[in-house]
Amino acid sequence: MAKKNKIKKIAPKIKHPPQKYIVSKMIFLTVLMVFIGTLIFIGGSMLLENKRLKSPNSSYSPLQPQKQTSAPSSQNHSTKKQFETLIPTSPWYTDEQIALGALVYSKNCQVCHGIAGQGTPNWRTRLSNGTYPPPPLNGSAHTWHHSMQVLINTINKGGTVVGGIMPAFEDKLSNDEVLAVLAYIQSLWPREIYTTWATRINSQQ
pLDDT in tens, 86-112: 788 889 999 999 999 999 999 999 999
Structural contact between residues 84 and 152, judged by C-beta atoms closer than 8 angstroms = no
- Gap between the terminal Cα atoms of the chain: 98
pLDDT at position 185 is: 97
Domain ranges across the chain: 12-58, 73-204
- Show Cβ contacts of residue 41 under 8 Å, excluding neighbours closer than 6 positions: 99
Tell me what percent of the residues of the chain surpass a pLDDT of 90: 45
Query: With 80 as the cut, is the pLDDT of residue 57 above it?
Result: no
Average pLDDT, the chain: 76
Degrees (nearest 5) of the Cα angle 99, 103, 105? 110
- Show Cβ contacts of residue 57 under 8 Å, excluding neighbours closer than 6 positions: none
- Confidence grade of residue 41 (pLDDT, cut at 50, 70, 90): low
CATH placement of domain 73-204: 1.10.760.10
Instruction: State mean pLDDT over 19-36.
Output: 68
Amino acid at 15: K
Query: With 60 as the cut, is the pLDDT of residue 9 above it?
Result: no
Q: Which stretches within the chain are classed as H helix?
A: 2-10, 19-54, 75-82, 95-108, 110-113, 148-157, 175-187, 191-204
pLDDT in tens, 160-179: 877 888 999 999 999 999 99
pLDDT at position 140 is: 94
